[in-house]
Amino acid sequence: MLARNFMNIGDKVRVLTVPASLPDGELNTRSVFELCVGHTFPIIGFRGDLLELEVGKVLGKEPYKDSIWIEPEHVEIVLT
Protein backbone atom coordinates (compact mmCIF):
# COMPACT_ATOMS: atom_id res chain seq x y z
CA MET A 1 0.00 0.00 0.00
CA LEU A 2 1.37 3.40 -0.89
CA ALA A 3 1.87 5.82 1.97
CA ARG A 4 -0.31 8.41 0.29
CA ASN A 5 -3.30 6.07 0.65
CA PHE A 6 -3.36 6.66 4.40
CA MET A 7 -1.09 9.68 4.95
CA ASN A 8 -1.40 13.18 3.55
CA ILE A 9 0.85 16.17 3.06
CA GLY A 10 0.77 18.13 6.29
CA ASP A 11 0.21 15.09 8.52
CA LYS A 12 2.69 14.99 11.39
CA VAL A 13 4.75 11.84 11.89
CA ARG A 14 7.26 10.74 14.53
CA VAL A 15 10.38 8.96 13.30
CA LEU A 16 10.65 5.65 15.17
CA THR A 17 13.54 3.79 13.56
CA VAL A 18 16.39 4.22 11.10
CA PRO A 19 16.27 2.12 7.92
CA ALA A 20 18.92 -0.59 8.17
CA SER A 21 20.26 -0.06 4.64
CA LEU A 22 21.33 3.58 5.06
CA PRO A 23 24.97 4.41 4.33
CA ASP A 24 26.92 6.93 6.39
CA GLY A 25 29.28 8.43 3.86
CA GLU A 26 30.19 12.04 3.15
CA LEU A 27 26.62 13.27 3.63
CA ASN A 28 26.30 11.63 7.08
CA THR A 29 22.95 10.18 6.02
CA ARG A 30 22.71 7.62 8.81
CA SER A 31 23.67 10.22 11.42
CA VAL A 32 20.94 12.61 10.22
CA PHE A 33 18.32 9.84 10.40
CA GLU A 34 19.52 8.89 13.90
CA LEU A 35 19.08 12.51 15.04
CA CYS A 36 15.50 12.42 13.71
CA VAL A 37 14.43 9.42 15.82
CA GLY A 38 11.88 10.54 18.41
CA HIS A 39 11.17 13.86 16.67
CA THR A 40 7.98 14.88 14.91
CA PHE A 41 7.90 16.37 11.42
CA PRO A 42 5.18 17.26 8.91
CA ILE A 43 5.03 15.29 5.67
CA ILE A 44 5.89 17.68 2.83
CA GLY A 45 5.87 15.28 -0.11
CA PHE A 46 5.74 11.77 -1.50
CA ARG A 47 7.86 9.82 -3.98
CA GLY A 48 6.35 6.41 -4.57
CA ASP A 49 6.07 4.90 -1.10
CA LEU A 50 8.57 7.31 0.48
CA LEU A 51 7.66 10.27 2.68
CA GLU A 52 9.58 13.53 2.49
CA LEU A 53 10.19 15.23 5.83
CA GLU A 54 11.90 18.60 6.41
CA VAL A 55 14.35 17.89 9.22
CA GLY A 56 16.64 20.93 9.39
CA LYS A 57 15.57 21.64 12.98
CA VAL A 58 17.49 18.58 14.30
CA LEU A 59 20.62 20.04 12.70
CA GLY A 60 20.08 23.49 14.22
CA LYS A 61 18.83 24.98 10.94
CA GLU A 62 15.54 26.18 9.54
CA PRO A 63 13.34 23.10 8.90
CA TYR A 64 13.35 23.53 5.09
CA LYS A 65 17.17 23.52 4.89
CA ASP A 66 17.40 19.68 5.03
CA SER A 67 15.00 16.88 4.19
CA ILE A 68 14.96 13.10 4.27
CA TRP A 69 13.00 10.47 2.38
CA ILE A 70 11.77 7.65 4.62
CA GLU A 71 9.56 4.58 4.33
CA PRO A 72 6.26 4.74 6.27
CA GLU A 73 7.14 1.67 8.37
CA HIS A 74 9.76 3.79 10.15
CA VAL A 75 7.29 6.45 11.34
CA GLU A 76 4.01 6.75 13.19
CA ILE A 77 1.27 9.32 12.65
CA VAL A 78 0.98 11.82 15.48
CA LEU A 79 -2.60 12.83 16.19
CA THR A 80 -3.02 16.43 17.23
Whole domain around residue 67: which residue ranges? 3-77
1 confidence band (pLDDT: 50, 70, 90)? very low
Domain CATH for 43: 2.30.30.70
Q: Identify the burial level of 34 via C-beta atoms within 10 angstroms of its C-beta, where 0-12 means exposed, 13-18 middle and 19 or more buried.
A: middle
Q: How many domains does the chain have?
A: 1
**pTM, two decimal places:** 0.88
- The model's pLDDT over 3-57, given as tens digits with 9 standing for 90+, comes to 656 899 999 999 999 998 887 776 688 899 999 999 999 999 999 989 999 999 9
